[in-house]
Structure 1
Amino acid sequence: MPASLLRVFFLALGLLGPQAWAQEPVAAPLRVVGFVYPPFMYPDERNVPAGPMVEVVAEALRRMGQPARIELLPLARALRQVESGEAVAMFTVKKTAQREAQYVFSSEPLLMQEYVIFVAQDSTLAFRGDLGVLAMSSIGVVGATSYGAIFDAAAQQGVFKKLEISSSHEANFRKLLAGRMDAIVCSRAVGVEILKQLQATGRVKISGPPIETTQSYLMFNKAAATPQLVAGFDHAIRGMRQQGLLGTGRKARPGGAN
């Protein structure tokens, strides 16, 4: 290149300034938490978060170009961390009036699941849709958990006289198997998976129809999440759903979605 052209070239670089050659800033990783909830989310053999819901959230964030660190914690701890802002968001969480007053939810649901009544195989307890029949039965639930509007409303109205609160669904099933409670309310898919892990599938049955089919979402800390972040996540989930990549328990397809 002639010297005169070289001078013009380097002059142009000087006029543009160093910012013209700087890389686009990389967004700081978001801390997103979930909880152990097989078969939807669980630690794999390397103790790395795995499962369909982990893959869905990770893929949505990847499509947004948003780095993130996903962790699975005990349920109560995950709730505390998203409340304090130590974590920006938590999945999968049902909407309630109390939570919507405190947090921001994605508009697009991540998970739909049926909540049912599990009882011992030889139980005569027969649920046919009326929660009143459970009024005097000892019923296992997990603390700080919503079971859908129908069950939650009945609990708030004092329909159930013997609710027994445990720290996990597995703990409830162990109590049911030991004859220490009459029934458990749980997601059908989660209950079936836990019974497989406990090798107790034949010892427990589902009584009656589902109480309700619920939807669960990504829940954001209001102060930590921008409107753009929430809208971007919804856009990514909507696109995955339109592509048929979003399901509720099937093995994830290539690319990190399911």
Structure 2
Amino acid sequence: MPALFKLLSAALFTCLSLAAYGETLRIVTEPWAPYVYDDKGTMRGLDYETTVMVFERLGVEVQWQFLPWKRCLAMIEQGHADGVLDIFHNHERDAQLLYPDEPLSTVEFVLFYANDRPHPASTLDDLAGLTVGTSPGYLYSDSFNDAPQFNREPAASHEANFGKLLLGRIDLAITDRRVGQHLIKNLALQGKVSQAPLVVNRQPQFLAVRRGAGMDLLVQRFAAELKRFKQEPAYTALSAKYAGVEAISAPQGTVEQQESGVK
């Protein structure tokens, strides 16, 4: 009984701590379909809906806000947000953020090219002299970020990068495999854009919260409930709702860079 009493007391302390923040947990994220996105005024996505379900079970109310990624990070740093959805674990932020043991999903950063200007890169060396469209605030891998043989050009959004790709303003665009496939479908780019075989990096992504009173317990409870939810039919159905959400194996002959990165 003492152990149960301590657990219940800790859970109550967490709820009181959240109340001190304004009775809601303020979470920021960037639209990152199919993980989290705004569908005509309705928030959807594998990681968003999973997070909503877990917090409902924990009895935690959440306020959501979509922002550009660099702004999301600034909101956390300035204390204007309590958590950020779909962030990579980076030890440089351990002093500021708490990460659950259980990730929400896994990202694979790959390259996309326009079919009328094909660049089916299999290694980073194949990018020599080319320009790759990137997103501000994303660190894809140490080897990709530091490679001197090609140029990196940021764009305001993933859609903007694909637009620049079609216009020939960049040679390739880098983004997550599922995100790229979702863009190709939604922008009707089938037959116009293809994926190169190179896998630049594979990273799990998390819901992270900034350090504060009761937040360490909240992270533990979130991880435990997330792990339980992933074993239920409801999560299987949610996964099936979004095409390609299962773990994807790298195609034969690809090169994987496993250095740590930060979204």
TM-score by length of 1: 0.78
Q: Deviation per CA, 1:55-103, whole angstroms, max 9, x where unpaired?
A: 1111111111111112222222222112222111011011223333432
Select 2:224's aligned residue among 209, 227, 235. Answer: 235
Contact map agreement 1:88 1:225 (CA 8 A) in 2: no
Give the letter aligned to residue 75 of structure 1: W
Once the 2 structures are TM-superposed, how far is the Cα of residue 126 of structure 1 from its aligned partner?
2.9
Q: 1:225 to 1:245 in 2, by over 3 A?
A: farther
State the Cα RMSD in Å.
2.3
Equivalent runs, 1:63-78 vs 2, <5 Å:
63-78=57-72
Once the 2 structures are TM-superposed, how far is the Cα of residue 108 of structure 1 from its aligned partner?
0.8
The answer to whether 1:83 aligns with 2:73 is no
Q: Deviation per CA, 1:88-127, whole angstroms, max 9, x where unpaired?
A: 1011011223333432212111011322110111334232
Return the alpha-carbon distance in structure 1 between the equivalents of residues 239 and 63 of structure 2: 22
Equivalent runs, 1:15-30 vs 2, <5 Å:
27=19, 28-30=23-25
Which residue of the partner structure matches residue 27 of structure 2?
32
Contact map agreement 2:103 2:204 (CA 8 A) in 1: yes
Mark the structure with the bigger radius of gyration: 1
Return the alpha-carbon distance in structure 1 between the equivalents of residues 206 and 67 of structure 2: 17
Q: 1:93 to 1:42 in 2, by over 3 A?
A: same
Can you give the 5+ residue segments of structure 2 that lack an aligned partner in the other structure? Answer: 1-14, 243-263
Return the alpha-carbon distance in structure 1 between the equivalents of residues 94 and 113 of structure 2: 33
Which residue of the partner structure matches residue 60 of structure 1?
54
Return the alpha-carbon distance in structure 1 between the equivalents of residues 118 and 187 of structure 2: 23
Return the alpha-carbon distance in structure 2 between the equivalents of residues 160 and 225 of structure 1: 47
Q: 1:101 to 1:74 in 2, by over 3 A?
A: same
Select 1:221's aligned residue among 197, 210, 214. Answer: 210
Give the letter aligned to residue 213 of structure 1: R
Can you give the 5+ residue segments of structure 1 that lack an aligned partner in the other structure? Answer: 1-23, 253-258
Return the alpha-carbon distance in structure 1 between the equivalents of residues 239 and 156 of structure 2: 23
Select 1:102's aligned residue among 88, 96, 105. Answer: 96
Return the alpha-carbon distance in structure 2 between the equivalents of residues 226 and 101 of structure 1: 13
Return the alpha-carbon distance in structure 2 between the equivalents of residues 160 and 244 of structure 1: 47
Select 2:152's aligned residue among 155, 163, 179. Answer: 163
TM-score by length of 2: 0.77
Question: What is the percentage of aligned positions where both structures have the same residue?
Answer: 27
Return the alpha-carbon distance in structure 2 between the equivalents of residues 242 and 104 of structure 1: 24
The farther-off stretch of 94-103 and 116-125 is: 94-103
Contact map agreement 1:32 1:87 (CA 8 A) in 2: yes
Return the alpha-carbon distance in structure 2 between the equivalents of residues 203 and 249 of structure 1: 27
Once the 2 structures are TM-superposed, how far is the Cα of residue 209 of structure 1 from its aligned partner?
4.1
Contact map agreement 1:119 1:204 (CA 8 A) in 2: yes
